[in-house]
Amino acid sequence: VSVAIALAFVPLVLALALRSRHWVVLVARVALGWLRDRLSSVPREHRALQYLLTHAVPGDPRHVLLTLDQWSRRCEHLSCVGPEKGRVVERVLSARSPQRVLELGTSCGYGAVLLARALPPGARLLTVERDPQRAAMAEKVIRLAGFDERTVQLIVGPSEEVIPQLRSRHRMDTTDFILMEHGKSCYERDLRLLERHRLLAPGATVMADHVLVPGAPRFLRYARGSGRFRCRLHRATLEYCQGITDGIAE
């Protein structure tokens, strides 16, 4: 009788495994990257950079992004805006044509290159990363893609310290386009901080990635409930993971 009961569960277990296979693959890829970080003396960002230096065409931002996509699909998972959500960001940014753009969370520089590529002439991007090792890699990626300091400036420090200094230390009086891609728990705090310091230009666009996976419910509640923002959620595949739907908020 117990064998019969156990066998009755087999289809259920198989169905569950099949349904969650994309998650299993994602968790395995992230765990593998984490393990490599622990076992190797070369951090993940540098492994990605080495791949870029041997495969990407310098001065060609499109090719730099394609090479990072390739590295992430073939080698290790990269948490970034990625190609599908990236197209949404590019579309919104091109429609707004902003002059002062802010990115929170640079990591390896994927988002910075993507934003810089879509900037109108004369526009400036400030990108903020708190981890000095990642920032050093991102700096190389951004310069490899062909953007100089006047177009893309990287600031090393936590967003909660950098935001209050944007006006006085970084010559950014207000910003018209923000991409949030740092700690999901920081989104709401940093949006409030930008408002408190009057750094949002009238009609500014704020985009926040990963609002569904891993999710930023407090941020969404605040943005939707404050009455000061018009909110839209763009659903798109999580970077490099067919079968998992994420969202980017506008």
Name the site residues for ligand SAM (rule: CB under 6 A): 79-81, 104-111, 128-131, 134, 158-160, 181-183, 186
Burial status of residue 163 (CB atoms within 10 A of its CB: 0-12, 13-18, 19 or more):
buried
Region for 82 from its dihedrals, namely left if φ exceeds 0, alpha if ψ lies in -120 to 50, beta otherwise: left
Q: Are 70 and 49 in contact (CB under 8 A)?
A: no
Q: Which two tokens stand for residue 201?
A: 């230009």
Question: Is 131 or 250 the residue whose CB approaches ligand SAM more closely?
Answer: 131
CB atoms near residue 52 (< 10 Å): 23
Give the C-alpha separation, 224 to 237, whole Å. Answer: 23
Question: Is 3 or 64 the residue whose CB approaches ligand SAM more closely?
Answer: 64
Question: Is 102 or 200 the residue whose CB approaches ligand SAM more closely?
Answer: 102
180 backbone dihedrals φ, ψ, rounded to 5°: -100, 125
Question: Is 142 or 220 the residue whose CB approaches ligand SAM more closely?
Answer: 142
Q: How far is the CB of 142 from ligand SAM (least distance, A)?
A: 11
Question: Is 79 or 100 the residue whose CB approaches ligand SAM more closely?
Answer: 79
Q: How far is the CB of 155 from ligand SAM (least distance, A)?
A: 9
Q: How far is the CB of 48 from ligand SAM (least distance, A)?
A: 10
Q: How far is the CB of 138 from ligand SAM (least distance, A)?
A: 8
Q: How far is the CB of 106 from ligand SAM (least distance, A)?
A: 6
Question: Is 43 or 183 the residue whose CB approaches ligand SAM more closely?
Answer: 183
- How many C-alpha atoms does 200 have within 13 Å on its Cβ side? 17
CB atoms near residue 136 (< 10 Å): 15
Give the C-alpha separation, 64 to 53, whole Å. Answer: 9
Q: How far is the CB of 6 from ligand SAM (least distance, A)?
A: 42
